[in-house]
Amino acid sequence: MLELRGQRVLLGVSGGIAAYKSADLVRRLREAGAEVRVVLTAGAEHFITATTLQALSGHPVRTSLWDAAAEAAMGHIELARWATQVLVAPATADLLARVAQGRADDLLTTLCLATEAPIAVAPAMNRVMWANPSTQANVATLRARGVRVLGPMAGSQACGETGEGRMREPADLVDDLAASAVPPRLAGRRLLVSAGPTFEDLDPVRFLGNRSSGRMGFAIAEAAAQVGAEVLLVAGPVKLATPVGVRRIDVRSAAEMHAAVIGALPGQDAYVGAAAVADYRPAAVADRKIKKGEGAMLLTLERTADILAEVAAHPARPRCVLGFAAETHDVADYARGKLAAKKVDAIAANLVGRPGSGFDADENALTLYWNGGEREFATARKTDLAHGLVGWIADRLEAG
């Protein structure tokens, strides 16, 4: 997790079910070193109490413009000036609309108008409400005015539906704020990241694939964007939302990923090959579904292009090339061998097959190997590991 020491965060909470996450968000903001003051809308008070947030923040919670004691000294202006960052989480469709319209009909919207601090909003609502053209127009207006829109994420919702509209997780919101509060180490740098699996078709129904979820590569793309990099993400077939500030190309097969990566290589400062690219593909793809027959079926496979090795040997090779190795045994030996054979700058290796880490998990543990050194990354959230890896890339680029 990045730090927020010295930052004064004004947290606005509007009236959605995701308001229950605000308690965890306050706790994490303080753990990151921030001082936190909380403002609740009238709707938010139906979901979480001021008492809870006061206990966690260590400060009285404001709920109204008409608080006689606070407003005797123009408290809302004082609070607007106090903040170094404003975060509204959750930000409902109604809150987004009112801020976009420049309304000042409650304390939170008034503060958003009165502050000179950067404002960020974390939308949370039903997927249909999020997709509604009115909401999208309001979001576009806010972005055009410099408001950072963090999320929403895709997933299951309290209403029972599934889709975009979930509030970004508290730990990720803290990282978002922290990244904007520190000098952007990768400002002006270009990063190319590949992520996810590839699917190699057998016929119109079946394919060869692997268990990669793409989460590690997406986390790296997000972490790099947070510290100022211009990031292009080449993504295999995954169901993940595009990180804020990241440009994305979707591909399916190893051949498509190879073409996209090599085509985007000129001008890149770093390449991170986090994708689990298929080593083999069917030599021929049937144009009709292959029917079941008697006995075994023989399948002829052919090698795919070695994208990582090609990038490392390319005339337009980036200054930093980082690959991944997912192994089931002898991790250090295989990682060191890959480092030498492919002539890359570093290999991030991990042991797969353990419950709760690796493929399709939120956490992982890595060891980063490079010529002359190695670094252990203990089990942690992939977003935290991503910040560590991006920091190493930044060190490498700064060292020239």
Q: Which residues are catalytic?
A: 159
The residue type of 344 is V
Give Cβ neighbours of residue 145 (< 8 Å, ≥ 6 apart): none
Give Cβ neighbours of residue 240 (< 8 Å, ≥ 6 apart): 154, 196, 213, 214, 215, 218
- Token couple for 14: 């509007």
CA separation (Å) from 137 to 93, 110, 119, 126? 11, 21, 18, 16
**Rounded distance, CA 370 to CA 322, Å?**
9
Beta carbons of 97 and 48 less than 8 angstroms apart: no
Cα angle 358-361-366, degrees, rounded to a multiple of 5: 35
Placement of tokens 């090609």 in the chain: 310
Q: Where are the beta strands (DSSP E) in 81-168?
A: 85-91, 119-123, 148-149, 153-156, 162-166
Query: Cα 174 from chain centroid?
Result: 12
- Beta strand 119-123 with 301-303: parallel, antiparallel or unpaired? unpaired
Q: What are phi and psi of 267, to 5 degrees?
A: 90, -5
SS3 117: coil
**Rounded distance, CA 234 to CA 213, Å?**
14
- Token couple for 384: 């935290």
**Rounded distance, CA 309 to CA 328, Å?**
22
Placement of tokens 């211009």 in the chain: 230
**Rounded distance, CA 238 to CA 252, Å?**
9
Give Cβ neighbours of residue 337 (< 8 Å, ≥ 6 apart): none
Torsion, CA 241, CA 243, CA 245, CA 247, rounded to 10: -60
Q: What are phi and psi of 349, to 5 degrees?
A: -115, 145
Task: Look at residues 352, 347, 351, 381 and name the one whose alpha carbon lies nearest to residue 211.
Answer: 352
